[in-house]
Structure 1
Amino acid sequence: MSTEADQYKAKGNAFFSAKQYDQAIDAFTKAIELSPTPNHILYSNRSGSYASKRDFDNALKDAEDCIKINPSWAKGYTRKATALHGQGDLVGAHDAYEEALKIDPANSQAKSGLEAVQKSLQAEAAEDGTTPDLGINQMFDDSTMWAKLAGNPKTSPFLADSAFVAKLKRLQKNPQAMATEMGSDPRMMTVISVLLGIDIMMPNADAPTPSSTSKDSPMTDAFAEERFEEVPDSKSASAAASNPVPEPEPEEDEQVKNKKLADEAKAIGNKEYKSRHFDEAITQYNRAWDLHKDVTYLNNLAAAEFEKGDLESCIQTCEKAIEEGREMRADYKVIAKSFGRIGTAYQKLGNLDKSIEYYNRALTEHRTPDVLSKLRAVEKEKKQKDVEAYIDPEQAEQAREEGNAFFKAADWPNAVKAYTEMIKRAPEDARGYSNRAAALTKLLSFPEAVKDCDIAIAKDSNFIRAYVRKATALFAMRDYVKCIETLDAASEKDTNRASYAEIEQLRSKALAARFQAMDGETEEETMERISKDPEVVSILQDPVMQSILGQAKENPAALNDHMKNPEIRRKIELLIASGIIRTR
């Protein structure tokens, strides 16, 4: 059945339990209309509802439809028997109960119902002195009767009574006398039940057998909670007094059976999935779902479709799992798994926005590290793709020109914005970072300027302008050591000496600023401070430099030859700037 049909069936059962039979009939009718294929259970349930409100004509029609759909289901015949009993057709009810017992000999409702019908037939026979036609002539067939009675522990003791055996022989010759014999000997009822092949529980053989069934007799159906009202016709009265009130078939046995078959199909599907036989796995998961509605089967089906590469079907199956799961009030963890798999499918399809949406929805249902990790990865991937999609060299050049115009107009904030746009449009162009660093320096944002210069140098290690701008920002930050180191690196890259003058000028300023006397500091204090400078101390302790300095004392002109070595030159300039070496 469809999910909606199942819902109406459940409502019908609830209405029946509450004895609201009209509402139950309406609900079962809706379920029948919505069911994609004829369902015998629904007709059985509606038959029971009609019988409960004593509409036996419709009850019989539904019972017959039930039997037509599933002739091997015993419950359909008990429904038919109940309806016929209610109409007063006791012989027809008797035959229907017998059909039920042929299919299911242990059916308690059929046994108790047949017993009630037999009692009603006895009561009628006792009233008019006739014997009901229940196949009595065939029942007293000499070839089988004695063997049945001797083989049954309830009747075998009766054969030791010669007078009783004589009664049986008389009945063989004249079955029409059975009503009289049953009225005088309660053991005869036991004999009849054994000969009919119905091993029902009989009253104590020594107790008297009532000649009629009172309308106040106990109900034979263990599930019944009410009696039929007495009606004027004697046959209908007898039937109504013992007719059981039907209970809609709960379908538990069928559900258990289908669940077992569904789990077996799922197990086969799992095996095929592990073997990467995805088409076979999909077939088994679909079969499991058709047998029993469990969202787990749909999630497994979606997994197989995903691995097969049928991503659109995977998404559709997961959406169905979510919809069905909501209706069934499935575990939120199962729903979360469906959302997560949709997110993975969309990620593989390249729809990162949808992927992020469904990963977030999965986390809303149930937060797991796995889905969270996938979300972070796809967010990072989307950010990178967004950056790549924004790249446009022409737009970058336009933004650079705008930035230059703002810079010349001393509009530093807008210059920063324009250069930032250039960076987004051309993230590998070092000029954007260097230009923005120049604008940031004007805004006194020196640390940010240094970072931009570092990126520019990383993009283009020969970009002299980036070194100079970094040194300028470091000088402003009074980090003279790093400023000088940056200028030294710039000198090494400036092979054509195009920026020599600018680099040397800034280096001189940095060296002077590094060792200049502080306000109020005496010459002795300055020399003591300089002598504690780690770099100066390191140079003075260097044996090579000690040798060079020793030569310089004897011949100051010798320093000119040593100055040709860039490293020696740098160290000598540092000693000169500190005042250790004096040129005058």
Structure 2
Amino acid sequence: MSAEEFKKEGNAAFVAKDFQKAIELFTKAIEVSEQPNHVLYSNRSACYTSLKKFDEALNDAQECVKINPTWSKGYNRVGAAEFGLGNLDDAEKQYKKALELDASNKAAQDGLEQVQRTQQARQQQPDLGLGQMFNDPNMIEKLKANPKTAELMKDPQLVAKILQFRSNPQMMGAEVLQDPRLMTIMATLLGIDLSMGGDAAGDAKNEELKAEEPKAGEPKAEEPKAEQPRAEQAQPAAPREEPEPMEVDEPETDNDSKAKADAEKAEGNKLYKARKFDEAIEHYEKAWNLHKDITYLNNRAAAEYEKGDYETAIKTLKEAVEQGREMRADYTVIAKSFARIGNSYHKLNDLKQAIDYYQKSLTEHRTPEILTKLRNCEKELKVQEVEAYIDPEKAEEARLQGKEYFTKGDWPNAVSAYTEMIKRAPEDARGYSNRAAALSKLMSFPDAIKDCDIAIKKDPNFVRAYIRKATAQIAVKDFAGAIETLDEARSKDTEVNNGASVKEIDQLYIKATQQRFQPEDPNESPEQTYARAMKDPEVASIMQDPVMQSILSQAQQNPAALQEHMKNPEVFKKIQTLIAAGIIRSR
């Protein structure tokens, strides 16, 4: 599951008041979140506060404001935890900090009022001298060292409660009556020498007690009666400190402000269509300030984009995504923000970032439009990377290196070097032709043919590429293809090289022709030769040609007529094919 899914389940558990389960779910969300998310810590802090685990609540709240120091609600959480711990001054500071960031923060206003009421109640009530008793900085250590309280002080929750009493002694009244452990601790604090001296100290104390006892026969001094407070003088009990009511972070709604915000948005849309982008941005900004709906941010970014201010648009859209996550905005709206970030990076020619954000958009909501943009961007990036790698000087270095490997018979490294040459100079036909030669040495003839085709496409007058292609075609027994390639080679050689390669071309032509129709049985009969030759598609086509049928019929009656017909290049080629196939035999 994703962090967002865990968060949604945690919110549901919180609403159901299953705070422990909510804590577990928010913890999982924190663990799988790609980046620290202040809202998750805020929500978990709320859970801990609801369970009165204020130390844990404070830790999470502090982590929340550390991640996002500008988010006012985080300081609400810190204030609530400090209030629960009885640290009223610290709680007051945190609520005030929240209001500095957002004066309309209702929870901070209520929390601050609650803290101030509690502070006022404390000042109005006497602490019966307990405040001084708890001010001893070594109080906890002394209680741990005292045999009567040492075992009790092993309970961390009890220790935490005592520390709360240090900051607010008035809280102790009802607690002492309900918890016998606290009565033991109070008795210890009131009646035991906390310096924990030796026997001599104890003896001295006994002597003092004896000296105060009356002698026999003397009346005992009347003990003063405790004055009972009158009903009208009774002081109200200190209010029980409770943290602010907790809730998970949800977007706030206000129908009034929403209506006003939509009106600003509508005005912004009119200005946008009129291409008055600066004015449109002002209205979208007002809409956002009136009501937190990330559609307004998306629109503002669209205006910034049309202005050509792509970096500002990106900043606005990232804010939209962050705010949208917190407010649990519809995934289609988040997807639109991501897509527009991708568009902005595309305009900035940062294609890698554009691809990243198009992918994020598709993760939120898959649409054909964004998928097409992603594919086109990926292709564009590939072209850019290829173009960025082009370097004619390094291409020449790779060519010479390939030639050296080829001369040594190191065909694999020759292929690698020529491949590097192709990357550095993709329009140079020599790289493909040279690699084809090395691939042929490795018996990789189909790949060699492909490279030769590319070389011929790059440079149609590159005769060497035709010759290498024909050689590879003969190797794979594509004799008809080889002969066709050699015909093209002869034509190009005559045209651009004055026939410089005609001898090599003719040798390959003879080889292809001979091997094309070479019989397996040297003693085969004319009938067998004819049957085998007719399996060749080209021979079959020639024999079914009505013009050739007429020429062959005349040749049987008058062999001299055949010589006349062979003056036609097309007829000559076909007659040569039939001779090679053994259908026409020379005497």
TM-score by length of 2: 0.61
Q: What does residue 580 of structure 2 align with?
A: 577
Q: What does residue 471 of structure 2 align with?
A: 472
How far does residue 50 in structure 1 lie from its aligned partner after superposition?
A: 4.8
Would you say the 8 A contact 2:543–2:549 is kept in 1? yes
Q: What does residue 509 of structure 1 align with?
A: 511
Structure 1: where are the runs of 5+ without partners?
Answer: 60-229
**AA aligned opposite 1:395:** K
Would you say the 8 A contact 2:320–2:337 is kept in 1? yes
**AA aligned opposite 1:49:** Q
SS at structure 1 position matched to 2:71: helix
SS at structure 2 position matched to 1:420: helix
**AA aligned opposite 1:403:** G
How far does residue 286 in structure 1 lie from its aligned partner after superposition?
A: 0.8
Q: What does residue 97 of structure 2 align with?
A: 33
- The structure 2 residue matched to 1:5, chosen from 72, 84, 93, is 72
Offset from partner CA, 1:2-46 (integer Å, 9 cap, x none): 96224445787x789xx9596798656524324247559578525
Q: Spell out the pairing of 1:380-529 with structure 2 (5 A cutoff).
A: 380-495=379-494, 496-519=498-521, 522-523=524-525, 524-529=527-532
Would you say the 8 A contact 1:434–1:452 is kept in 2? yes
Matching of residue 55 in structure 1 with residue 57 in structure 2: no
Would you say the 8 A contact 2:405–2:413 is kept in 1? yes
Separation of aligned partners in 2, 1:277 and 1:25: 51
Separation of aligned partners in 2, 1:505 and 1:254: 88
Matching of residue 543 in structure 1 with residue 542 in structure 2: no
Q: Spell out the pairing of 1:144-163 with structure 2 (5 A cutoff).
A: none
Aligned CA distance change for structure 1 residues 47 and 554 (closer, same or farther; 3 Å): closer
How far does residue 256 in structure 1 lie from its aligned partner after superposition?
A: 3.6
Separation of aligned partners in 1, 2:253 and 2:477: 87
Would you say the 8 A contact 2:88–2:119 is kept in 1? no
Q: What does residue 232 of structure 2 align with?
A: 232
Offset from partner CA, 1:40-65 (integer Å, 9 cap, x none): 95785256415764827999xxxxxx
Aligned CA distance change for structure 1 residues 256 and 520 (closer, same or farther; 3 Å): same
* Residues paired across the two proteins, number: 403
How far does residue 504 in structure 1 lie from its aligned partner after superposition?
A: 1.9
How far does residue 576 in structure 1 lie from its aligned partner after superposition?
A: 0.9
SS at structure 2 position matched to 1:293: coil
Offset from partner CA, 1:364-402 (integer Å, 9 cap, x none): 444443333222211110110111111122222221122
**AA aligned opposite 1:573:** Q
Would you say the 8 A contact 1:4–1:31 is kept in 2? no
Separation of aligned partners in 2, 1:556 and 1:10: 110
TM-score by length of 1: 0.61
Separation of aligned partners in 2, 1:306 and 1:325: 20
Separation of aligned partners in 2, 1:288 and 1:563: 89
RMSD, matched Cα: 3.7
How far does residue 503 in structure 1 lie from its aligned partner after superposition?
A: 1.8
How far does residue 265 in structure 1 lie from its aligned partner after superposition?
A: 1.6
Separation of aligned partners in 1, 2:390 and 2:410: 25
Would you say the 8 A contact 2:471–2:482 is kept in 1? yes
Would you say the 8 A contact 1:470–1:486 is kept in 2? yes
Q: Spell out the pairing of 1:31-430 with structure 2 (5 A cutoff).
A: 31-34=95-98, 35-36=100-101, 38-39=103-104, 41=106, 45-46=110-111, 48-50=113-115, 53=118, 55=120, 232=232, 255-430=254-429
Separation of aligned partners in 1, 2:253 and 2:376: 47
Separation of aligned partners in 1, 2:557 and 2:105: 121
Q: Which moved more, 1:492-501 or 1:516-525?
A: 516-525
Aligned CA distance change for structure 1 residues 570 and 47 (closer, same or farther; 3 Å): closer
How far does residue 490 in structure 1 lie from its aligned partner after superposition?
A: 1.9
Offset from partner CA, 1:128-150 (integer Å, 9 cap, x none): xxxxxxxxxxxxxxxxxxxxxxx
Would you say the 8 A contact 1:268–1:284 is kept in 2? yes
Separation of aligned partners in 2, 1:415 and 1:358: 41
Aligned CA distance change for structure 1 residues 291 and 58 (closer, same or farther; 3 Å): farther
Would you say the 8 A contact 1:29–1:46 is kept in 2? no
SS at structure 1 position matched to 2:423: helix
Separation of aligned partners in 2, 1:40 and 1:573: 98
Would you say the 8 A contact 2:466–2:486 is kept in 1? yes
Aligned CA distance change for structure 1 residues 500 and 10 (closer, same or farther; 3 Å): same
Structure 2: where are the runs of 5+ without partners?
Answer: 1-68, 125-229
Would you say the 8 A contact 1:11–1:24 is kept in 2? no
Q: Which runs of 4+ in 1 moved over 6 A?
A: 56-59
- The structure 1 residue matched to 2:569, chosen from 544, 566, 573, is 566
How far does residue 282 in structure 1 lie from its aligned partner after superposition?
A: 0.8
